[in-house]
Amino acid sequence: MDTFLGIDYNIWWFLVFGGVISGYAILDGFDLGAGALHLFLKKEQSRRIALNAIGPVWDGNEVWLVIGGGALFAGFPVAYAAIFSAFYVPFMIFLVGIIWRAVAIEFRSKEPMGWWRKTWDIVYSFASIVIALSLGLMLGNVAYGIPLNAEKEFDGNWLSFFNPFSILVAITTLALFMMHGAIYLTMKTENRLFAKLHILANNFIIFFVLSFVITTLYTLLYIPHLSDFFRENPLGFIIPLLMVLTIANIPRQIKKGKYRYAFISSSVTIALLLIMVALEVFPFLLYSTSDPQNSITIANAASSPKTMKILLIIALIGTPLVAIYTSFVFYTFKGKVKLDEMSY
């Protein structure tokens, strides 16, 4: 097996893919969350400020989804093929959500009429909610596993995606994004809107903690194969422990008025959550519930070593570049939102 710094290429690419997905969840997470809570803001001006808070960056955030798709396609084509053909129906719903959300943001500001803007506000908010829920639903099913046949193709009924565990994960994802989005917006707003978001952020923290606890208990009680890892590797408990600490840190920072630290804390929470899922499923990319022999693993789904090498080079050159100009864009738009003639 080819290795780089003593770690084989498949694991490297699993880490890169995990990193991209975490990046996506952290970045698009806050703008999806802002979208999901959009209708909680009642005034036209508040909604405009909330939109402009994500305006210059949401497009760049969504790029991480595209990179993630490309990374999975390139590194683990077998998994890419199986996952997207298996999750056909929820994924199509997700994609339609992506389309409507993008155009709702773009179209809303183009006409001044009240009904026009309210319509697009609703489309934008619902699409954000649908995206968050379907992402969570798919994550839940990936973690739980789906039936696969010997050709590693989905061999089940799409209605089975709507199982209690995955629905819980979906709700937790939505709650997490709403919390994350509310915290982001507190950094970008002032005065009364800021005060309102401060309250909303606290409410969404409670919503998230509740759904997270219920999902965790459900997993421990009913889904043994997901907790195996922690039973066999007690050291791994560091991750959930860290998670509890970062989650507890969020309301603490908000109380102190340090919203930026609260935002960093909720970003770390998202990353830890995904690391936990990754540890639970590793080395599987898609566990087969019908016959574990048919599971898709990072070994049997991987591209050739040559491609893995090329991909690592691409990632090593590309990631710093993306990091530099993403930081530059965020830096350009730092601080509270001010509306001007080019705003939404």
Partner 1 sequence: MDVEILARVQFAFTIAFHYIYPPLSIGLGLLLVIYEGMYLKTGDKKYEQIARFWIKIFALIFGLGVATGIIMEFEFGTNWATYSKYVGDIFGSALAAEGIFAFALESGFLGILIFGWNRVGPKVHFFSCIMVFLGSMFSAVWIVVANSWQQTPAGYHIVGEGLNARAEITDFWAMVFNPSSVERLIHVWIGCFLAGAFLVLSVNAWYILKKRHLDIAKRSFRIALVVATVSGLLQLLAGHKSADGVARNQPAKLAALEGHFDSSARADMYLIGKVNNKTQEVSGISIPGGLSFLLHGNFTEPVKGLNAFPEDERPKQVNAIFQFYHIMVACGMIMIGMTLLACFYWWRKNLFDKRWLLRAFVWAVLLPQIANQAGWFAAEMGRQPWVVYGLLKTSDALSKSVTANQVLFSLILFLGVYFILFLLFLYLLNRKIQHGPVDYGTKEHIDEGSKRDNPIMDHES
Tell me which residues in 308-337 interact with partner 1 (CB under 8 A).
310-311, 314-315, 318-319, 321-322, 325-326, 328-329, 332-333
- Residue span binding partner 1 (CB under 8 A) among the ranges 71-79, 201-209, 243-251, 281-289: 71-79
Give the whole-angstrom CA distance, residue 26 versus residue 38: 18
Pairing of β 3-4 and β 7-8:
antiparallel
Write the CB contacts of 147 (distance below 8 Å, at least 6 apart in sequence).
154, 155, 156, 160, 288, 289, 290
110 binds partner 1 (CB under 8 A): yes
Sole binder of partner 1 in the list 32, 82, 168, 285 (CB under 8 A):
82
Listed residue (66, 99, 69, 64) closest to 84, CA to CA: 69
Could you give the C-alpha distances from 33 to 152, 182, 223, 270, 298, in angstroms and in order?
34, 7, 28, 13, 31
End-to-end CA distance of the chain: 53
Q: Which two tokens stand for residue 332?
A: 């350009």
| Contacts (CB under 8 A) with partner 1, residues 113-132 | 114, 118
Sole binder of partner 1 in the list 3, 15, 111, 260 (CB under 8 A):
111
159 binds partner 1 (CB under 8 A): no
How many degrees, rounded to 5, is the angle at CA 100 between CA 96 and CA 106?
150
Q: Show the binding pattern over residues 205-244: x = contacts partner 1 (CB under 8 A), - = does not.
A: ----------------------------------------
| Contacts (CB under 8 A) with partner 1, residues 252-311 | 303-304, 306-307, 310-311
Distance of CA 81 to the CA centre of its chain: 21
Listed residue (248, 251, 270) closest to 259, CA to CA: 251
For the CB of residue 294, give the shortest distance to partner 1 in the complex, in Å.
12
For the CB of residue 196, give the shortest distance to partner 1 in the complex, in Å.
14
* Residue number, 55 or 140, with CB nearest to partner 1: 55
Sole binder of partner 1 in the list 85, 162, 248, 283 (CB under 8 A):
85
Sole binder of partner 1 in the list 18, 35, 75, 145 (CB under 8 A):
75
